[in-house]
Chains A and B, each alone.
Chain A
Amino acid sequence: MNPFYSGTRLRDMIRAIRACKTAAEERAVIRKECAAIRASIDENDHDYRHRNLAKLMFIHMLGYPTHFGQMECLKLIASAGFPEKRIGYLGLMLLLDERQEVLMLVTNSLKQDLNHSNQYIVGLALCALGNICSAEMARDLAPEVERLLQFRDPNIRKKAALCSIRIIRKVPDLAENFVNPAASLLKEKHHGVMITGVQLCTELCKHSSEALEYFRKKSTEAMVKTLKDLVNSPYAPEYDIAGITDPFLHIRMLRFLRVLGQGDADASDCMNDILAQVATKTESNKNSGNAILYECVETIMSIEDSGGLRVLAINILGRFLSNRDNNIRYVALNMLMKAITVDAQAVQRHRTTILECVKDSDASIRKRALDLVYLLVNESNVKPLTKELIDFLEVADQEFKGDLTAKICSIVAKYSPEKIWYIDQMLKVLSEAGNFVKDEVWHALIVVISNASDLHGYTVRTLYRAFQRSSEQQESLLRVAVWCTGEYGDMLVNNIGMLDIEDPIVVTESDAVDVAETAIKRLGSDLTTKAMGMIALLKLSSRFPSCSERINNSIVQYKGSLVLELQQRSIEFNSIIASHQKMRSVLVERMPVLDEATFIGKRAGSMTGSASTSNAAAINLPNGVSKSSAPLVDLLDLSSDDVPVPSSSGGGFIQDLLGLDLSAAPEKSGSNPTPISGADVLLDLLSIGTSPPAQSTASATDILSNQEKSPTSQLDGLSSLSSLSANKPSAAVSSPTIDLLGGLSPNLASEDENGSVYPSIVAYESGSLRITFDFSKTAGSPQTTLILATFKNLSPNSYTDFIFQAAVPKFLQLHLDSASASTLPGSGNGSITQHLRVTNSQYGKKHLVMRLRIAYKVDDKDVLEEGQVSNFPRNL
């Protein structure tokens, strides 16, 4: 003993640590202790080894490094005394890891101790081996452990059984050696040996199919009999938990039976009776009884089908669900989750109870129940389930709302039977928990709204009401409301498209403008919302000319905004309102229907991470809207659906927003850019920042190849314009780029100047309406084409309030004269004519294209038809 070593006693160290008031003090005390222990270790001081290691274990528990004590463990294990060995083995289990090489050194000591005459030392060694055995140790020591399975003292036998489990986990090949001794453990009467023996057999079955076969044949019946005896056994106080005899053994045996019965009809058949007995006879007013029932249910669900038992099992779970104990409800939900794959019908019967659990006060239970409800939803029950969930959304905890909202949105999107229901539910969710709604969810909603043309009016009015009602503004509700107000503001004010279920509301034009202004002025609004508010204002300025002045004033306020996006919009929109009255209505007319298929495809595409060119381009959009703008662009822009946006075009964003043609940018980048004809200020305005030099031929080719790949859907908005140009016969020329860059145009243009006569076309034809276009040019201005549109009604009923509208991309200017009449008689008896004048600023390079919208009334019912004209004669 070192007389100078004055280490503290263990108790004193613990007291000193407990007395520390701060973490720093504690660290200091421990540093001092560790230094003393290290010194003692260095001196190889064996008298204090025991105490040092005990201290180190405490220090380890507090989270300080103790690796320097590892060798001390080995030395203590190697010493003769029981207290030393005990603390040595405890230290070994705590401080060492099976991966450490130092562990190899302990194998020999373990071997000796496993053969020790003192059975408590054998017990210590078995316990340590069971905790830290590595594969090498398993191979070396398996024979010892195998022998100990037959040791006279049951306490050693049970420890040896668990140690065997560890060994076969490490080295599955050793499993066969243990099968026979394990089988003999099953015949034991001692509960502790039985419980570990059953565990060992279960583990053996997991690792070796031969063992599984063996136990199935030899032990199934015996196991059933043992379980029967246990169930009927008289009161055994030492294994009694709350009046149930040895629930742990019950559970282990049921689990073992499950392994034996799974996939084997005979074995399953053999255990049916006992399972039924356990399921019906076990008392269910105590936790331990329920633990047995729970295990029994799992076994019934896993073994081969026996219809009667399954019903019994699911009914037990149903009873669990209405149990007052939270734990029981929790495990029942867990089990029902598994059961739903086996027997969904039976689980459905407990739907109402499960739904109640969604409202539980316990977060764990709520979450489980919600997951389960999500799995239970199908077409037939979606309406009542959604209603319950949405009602609950009002009162749900804040932290639960996110989960709940996501699940509701997913259910509604997946199973919605009709559009109006979908819109209704989504609006409710937005009003209740809009802040929890993910971006892609409200984007999807807007796409659906856009497609439901008969519900536009209804939706915008409902949104307006929700907007008025909601006290604390939910951001995504505001966004959807603003978007719809911008698009369908006129329907809001004039109560257009009333459904029978609605009450009319009185909304003035300025009320509608208020909505958009709120979005911009509200303190919490983020950039996306503000930008959407701006667009809505611009759109409303054209819908409500009387408010134009007021709108302009509010837009102008952002001319000095520090946010580039808002500033740019403010300046550009101001210019549109102030100086381009004539084209404003064309520019900001209602969005064409958004393509659902494309949107869904895009979502799927972006989820798998395979961003197509057009996606990538959209994300790269300039003007600082970066992240949030991408989906916004997708929504507002029809062209980007399948025309890739050249990512380097600065003004592209605005062009996109207004749905104008995009291929202009690459065209201008050609080697001989034509001066822009006419005083088209707007074109300048809209292409600010387009940087022709940046456009390389490569990117132009890229764009072209993309267009060729994308299916040319003629109905797909203005976008088909570009695909059209790519598909022209002249594209047969070896290099398609030439066509795109307009290299071929001069001789074609000269043809026009000869005043050639253009053939008439049928611009649009539906079952009930035919529109033909006749063309002529005025001498001296080849860019301008005069079009005479003739409308014929093919249906037997006459049309009243006939209105024809047309829209063209930005390189065209369109002037419509008034129509010859507003009533179109039926059966082709008579027609309406209307003159159009189109000026092509890219004359010679680009061809005419036009979208049409025809509105009329048949028997006082509104009809709206839309179409696209892309079969114009070339060179107009």
Chain B
Amino acid sequence: MIRAVIVMNTQGKPRFAKFYDFQPVEKQQELIRSVHGVLCSRAENVSNFVEAESIFGPDSRVVYKHFATLYFVFVFNSSENELAMLDLIQVFVETLDKCFKNVCELDLVFNYTKMHSILDEIISGGQVLETSSAEVVKAVEEISKLETASNSINFVSKTVSGWRG
């Protein structure tokens, strides 16, 4: 089971955090800080796996990928394949890239609810839901369409000018 997905920048500012087993908000911050402490002290040419039992308790593994200014971190337990998790990060990032057209840190900052929608199409309740980024993008586009559709309905119903077009 995947236990958490964390995105933070290289300074340690959280940009996205989703814990699949509940953690109180203070604990979340503490975990993010400890992970950042470990990650920023790692050299460039080392493996993507980190010994993290001291941070997340027994039977926990951490895999991360570093993209530009961001760390993408997946925390999971022994029932997941480590190498597959690495690929799943890749799928997640590719999907973000497709949804935001050349994703950068700022996109994530201002669109974190969209990011949640994207992740919810990839992982649900700690289990892998979908691994094709094309499928995910499709699902997210449907959601966005629904959002704007209902927004425009609101807009139309509330303003008279809408009728004039």
Contacts and interface: CB of A to CB of B under 8 A. Distances in A.
Interface of A: 11, 14, 18, 54, 57-58, 60-66, 81-83, 86-87, 90, 93-94, 97-99, 120, 123, 126-127, 130-131, 133, 155, 158-159, 162-163, 165-166, 191-192, 195-196, 199, 238-239, 241-242, 246-249, 251-252, 255, 287-288, 290-291, 294-295, 326-331, 334, 361-365, 367
A361 B47 CA distance: 10
Interface stretch (B68-76, B96-104, B109-117): B109-117
A64 B24 CA distance: 10
7 contacts: A83-B151, A90-B116, A195-B128, A196-B129, A241-B131, A247-B87, A362-B46
Interface of B: 14-18, 20, 22, 24-26, 28-29, 42-43, 45-51, 79, 81-84, 86-88, 90-91, 109-110, 112-113, 116-117, 120, 124-125, 127-132, 134-135, 139, 142-143, 146-147, 149-151, 154
Contacts of A99: 22
Nearest to B147: A83
Contacts of A367: 51
B15 to A, nearest CB: 8
Contacts of A130: 124-125, 127
Given A294-B81, A326-B48, A364-B50, 7 more contacts: A63-B29, A83-B150, A162-B124, A196-B128, A248-B128, A255-B81, A365-B46
B142 to A, nearest CB: 6
A290 B42 CA distance: 24
A86 B147 contact: yes
Contact of B87 (A54, A64, A65, A248): A248
B82 A57 contact: no
A850 B88 CA distance: 77
B54 to A, nearest CB: 12
B82 A327 contact: yes
Given A14-B110, A83-B150, A248-B87, A61 B16 contact: yes
Given A238-B135, A287-B83, A82 B120 contact: no
A724 B84 CA distance: 71
B125 A294 contact: no
Nearest to B146: A82
Given A90-B116, A162-B125, A238-B132, A290 B47 contact: no
Nearest to A200: B127
A288 B88 CA distance: 10
Nearest to B61: A334
A165 B127 CA distance: 9
A192 B24 CA distance: 32
Nearest to A191: B132
Contacts of B117: 86, 90
Contact of A61 (B14, B127, B134, B150): B14
A149 B17 CA distance: 29
A120 B110 contact: no
Given A330-B49, A364-B47, A159 B129 contact: yes
Contacts of B87: 241-242, 247-248, 287-288, 291
Contacts of A155: 139
Given A63-B29, A166-B125, A239-B132, A364 B83 contact: no
Nearest to B109: A14
B129 A158 contact: yes
Nearest to A10: B110
A290 B83 CA distance: 7
A396 B100 CA distance: 45
Contacts of A239: 131-132
Contacts of A331: 49, 82-83
B129 A363 contact: no
A402 B154 CA distance: 65
B31 to A, nearest CB: 11
A327 B83 contact: yes
